[in-house]
Amino acid sequence: MRKSPRSHHDSTLDDVLASRLARQHERHRYRRRRTTVGIGPRFQREGCEWLAFCSNDYLGLAGDPRLAEGLAEGARRFGTGGGASHLVCGHSEAHARLEARLAEWTGCQRALLFSSGYQANLGVFSALLGRGDYALHDRFNHASLLDGTRLAGARLMRFAHGDAKDCGQHLAMLDSARHKLVISDGVFSMDGDVADLAALAEQCSRHRAWLMVDDAHGFGVLGANGGGTRQSQGIDPAVVPVLVGTLGKALGTQGAFVAGSDALIEALIQFARPYVYTTSLSPALAWATLTSLDIVRDEPERRDHLFTLVERFRNGAVGLSAFGLHLMPSRTPIQPLVIGSTREGGDNAVAALKLASALEAAGIWCTAIRPPTVPAGTARLRITLSAAHDVADVDRLLEALHDCARRLGSAQESPT
Ligand code: PMP
């Protein structure tokens, strides 16, 4: 006897998920994790040696033995876990000292720690905006900023990427709105370019909007003391009233902070639900991060070396355009290589995956970034450089890229 087809009401959870997962495969969007052994950028994976060019450990601090020492000392003095939220009994002297150092480093009145950048961003929006308020985003802002806007129930609008004039035109239409927050990444995570903070600030002051900058990829990397995008552009702290930084990238640990005025920090403590209702960042990690701030301050040669590598990579990668691989105009350690034309909008996700796996065969690990993380037609290898790489590593990457591009014949496949 034939079974009658089940209506979707009868489907099991696993049936529903299996068809969603199959669709993800069909669209070349399936994401995979890989288990690593060792400390980047030289990992062991699946029994082989890998040289990675895809982490955000820009200064090579994540594997620094001095941070491991700091972590162990912090664990002995304050415990590995906070044991409670900051507002119960999870706020230790390690947290307080790190917040004070971050305030000093950013030139802000105060700073507040969060367990991750994702949470910091959710926290800011949930505390500052509500229904009827507007969040005006650069089109390429990080996903956590968009999710924060949704959590707050605020209205989400976007201006053209890097275009302060377009931001101003949007603001002009919102003149009667109660609160308007303009939000931009400092360094754009998938493109590596840098926001013009003075131009955004000018539009904000003209239209009575507030400015928030998420400098996850700028802190520790840009500016004479690693003070980030704002420092590198010589902009006064008061011009950016809400500044977010993360600790899991250049600083080599984990967590994030928001820096700003005393009123901003007090408001976050009172109203940011992702701050109030979660266990505090590990105090041992907070203690270790004090050591990484010392290193960021005392070892500018790490940044010098990193930018030498950036230039070497860019000079060596110019010729890849003959194979349809386009370097984006980035001067930061994020050096994306877009596959095929950036203008045609075709589906280049498969080509990006092929290039990533051809590099894998040469022991080089560089993840292909595909839509929806980046706009359709702009799938790319998000190549990131680190002070833990040396010149020979960059040369090996360049050689492998040229070799793979030649073999894959990207020029013929490119839609240009
Ligand atoms: N903001 C930006 C711009 C990011 O790129 C990221 C992470 N990639 C985050 C926030 C989230 O930070 P975290 O990883 O600490 O949650």
CA distance 381 to 391: 20
Decide which of 274, 297, 320 is a domain's last residue.
297
Tell me whether 0.90 is exceeded by the ipTM: yes
Is the CB–ligand 1 distance for residue 118 below 6 Å? yes
Residue 5's pLDDT is 58
Domain boundary among 264, 297, 330: 297
| 41 and 119 fall within a common domain | no
40 lines ligand 1 (CB under 6 A): no
Say what the pLDDT of residue 411 is. 44
| Residue 17, domain member (yes or no) | no
Tokens of 29: 């969007």
Distance 294 CA to ligand 1 centre (A): 22
- Are 313 and 409 found together in one domain? yes
Q: Report d(CA 376, CA 28) in Å as an integer.
A: 12
Domain membership of residue 18 (yes or no) is no
For residue 117, say whether it is annotated as part of any ligand binding site.
yes
Tell me the pLDDT of the chain (416 aa) as tens digits: 455 555 667 899 999 999 999 999 998 889 889 999 999 999 998 889 999 999 999 999 999 999 999 999 999 999 999 999 999 999 999 999 999 999 999 999 999 999 999 999 999 999 999 999 999 999 999 999 999 999 999 999 999 999 999 999 999 999 889 999 999 999 999 999 999 999 999 999 999 999 999 999 999 999 999 999 999 999 999 999 999 999 999 999 999 999 999 999 999 999 999 999 999 999 999 999 999 999 999 999 999 999 999 999 999 999 999 999 999 999 999 999 999 754 444 578 889 999 999 999 999 999 999 988 999 889 999 999 999 999 999 999 999 999 999 998 744 444 43
To test ligand 1's pocket by mutation, which of 56, 118, 243 has the most ligand atoms within 8 angstroms of CB? Answer: 118
166 and 286 housed in the same domain: yes
Catalytic residue, from 137, 217, 305, 326: name it: 217
Quick check: is 384 in a domain?
yes
pLDDT at 6: 59
CA dihedral 208, 184, 153, 248 (to 10 degrees): -140
Rg for the chain (alpha carbons), in Å? Answer: 23
Question: Does residue 195 lie within any of the structural domains?
Answer: yes
Cβ(216) to ligand 1 under 6 A? Answer: yes
Q: Is the dihedral of CA 246, 248, 252, 254 positive or negative?
A: positive
Domain stops at, among 281, 297, 313: 297
Give the global pTM: 0.94
pLDDT for residue 301: 98
Residue 242 lies in a domain: yes
According to the model, what pLDDT value does residue 397 have?
98
Tell me, yes or no, whether 383 and 266 share the same domain. no
Q: Is residue 21 part of a domain?
A: no
Same domain? 56 vs 204: no
The DSSP bridge partners found for residue 52 are 365
The enclosing domain of 262 has a CATH number of: 3.40.640.10
180 and 51: one domain?
Answer: no
Question: 3 lies in a domain?
Answer: no
249 and 356 in a single domain? The answer is no
Same domain for 276 and 333? no
Can you tell me which residue has the tokens 């960059």? 394
Question: Which residues, 6+ apart, have CB-to-CB distance to 399 below 8 Å?
Answer: none
Give me the domain span that covers residue 287.
Answer: 65-297
- Residues 134, 270 within the same domain: yes
Residue nearest to atom 10 of ligand 1 (CA): 117
Q: Same domain for 286 and 305?
A: no
Amino acid at 171: L
Q: Which amino acid is at 289?
A: T
Query: Does 31 carry a binding-site annotation?
Result: yes
Please confirm, yes or no, whether 217 is among the known catalytic residues. yes
CATH of the domain at 331: 3.90.1150.10
Is 246 known to sit in a ligand binding site?
yes
Compute the distance between CA of residue 140 and CA of residue 152 in angstroms, rounded to an integer.
20
Q: Are both 126 and 208 inside the same structural domain?
A: yes
> How many structural domains is the chain composed of?
2
117 lines ligand 1 (CB under 6 A): yes
**Domain assignment of residue 1, yes or no:** no
Q: Tell me, using a 6 A CB cutoff, whether residue 115 lines ligand 1.
A: no
Residues 315, 408: one domain? yes
- Cα dist. 348→206, 211, 319 in Å? 41, 35, 20
Mutation probe of ligand 1 site: the residue of 142, 193, 257, 334 with most atoms within 8 A of C-beta: 142
